[in-house]
Chains A and B, each alone.
Chain A
Amino acid sequence: MRIDCPCCGSRDIREFTYKGDALALERPDPDAGDAVWNDYVHNRDNPAGPTRELWYHEMGCAAWLVVTRDTVSHEIKAVELASAAKGDVA
């Protein structure tokens, strides 16, 4: 498995660390309430098909990436910098 890092190019999976669903990019408002926060912290979907995930290029450029991966075929459809996905210009 290889991930096409927008910064470094195509790299081996050993350079990356998996974080989880890209949900962390949509952190709820601090005052959103217990139900919303409970859902954000604990509940995850388990889809068979395309997912958006956070990967960390730990051994490479140290960028956080949003990887769109199909959990059935393992095909990676898109990779972007998390900073770009968040609309941050870093």
Chain B
Amino acid sequence: MAETVADSVKLIATSPCAGLLPLSIGTMTASEEPPAALTSIAAYRGQEDALSEMLKTAHGMGWPKPGRTTGKEGARALWFGQGQALLVGPAPDPGLARHAALTDQSDAWAMVRLSGAGSQAVLARLTPLDLRRGSFKRGHTARTEIAHMMGSLTRLGEEAFLILVFRSMAATLAHDLEAAMQAVAARTRL
């Protein structure tokens, strides 16, 4: 049988930030998060309580309130918009589908961790969000503008943030992070 295109082309999976990250400048590091299942969960009307119970049973985390996260490293739920959360890590329990619309978003988002002293100053150059610790604490999350792109921002620690933008925008994010990291690092050298 003649060789088809499919036989001769080898498809190789690459992560959104392959070849772009990690990036270490000054005291800051931007690195890609390990690939994880991403599922958007949109609760059906009036089903939030039942959904929260199901999430607790199945994945050990409650339904996140607006601007908050639940769960922990490796299995997290980020508030992701009105009536919506993003499950990061585990494959969703099929039972969740009784209370919510589940949509597989794996591979759709670039997930970047920015950490190290100065990280907050870097993000202050890229987002209009109030990042001060009094109003954006560990475990807080926001949908906001990041380098002119719509994204999701979560504080993981004192100087550690999780940044999500559309996968197609990964190169732009890496570029703008690099410029901001260089600018912040340069100021500390003055």
Contacts from A to B (Cβ < 8 Å): 7-12, 14-15, 58-63, 89-90
Known: A11-B128, A14-B128, A15-B128. A63 touches B144 (CB 8 A): no
Q: Are A90 and B150 in contact, with the CB atoms below 8 A?
A: no
Give bound CA distance, A61 to B80, whole Å.
7
**A16: min CB distance to chain B, Å:** 10
Give the interface SS of chain B, mostly helix, strand, loop or mixed: loop
Instruction: Tell me the number of A-to-B contacts counted with CB atoms below 8 Å.
Output: 39
Question: B142 at interface (Cβ–Cβ under 8 A)?
Answer: yes
Q: Which 3 A-B pairs have the closest CB atoms?
A: A12-B128, A59-B145, A61-B82
Q: Are B143 and A59 in contact, with the CB atoms below 8 A?
A: yes
Quick one: closest A residue to B143, CB to CB?
Answer: A60
**A12: min CB distance to chain B, Å:** 3
Q: Are B128 and A62 in contact, with the CB atoms below 8 A?
A: no
Q: Are B66 and A7 in contact, with the CB atoms below 8 A?
A: yes
Across the interface, which residues of A come within 8 angstroms of B83, CB to CB? 90
**B126: min CB distance to chain A, Å:** 12
Q: Which one of B67, B145, B150 contacts A8 once the chains associate, using CB atoms below 8 Å?
A: B67
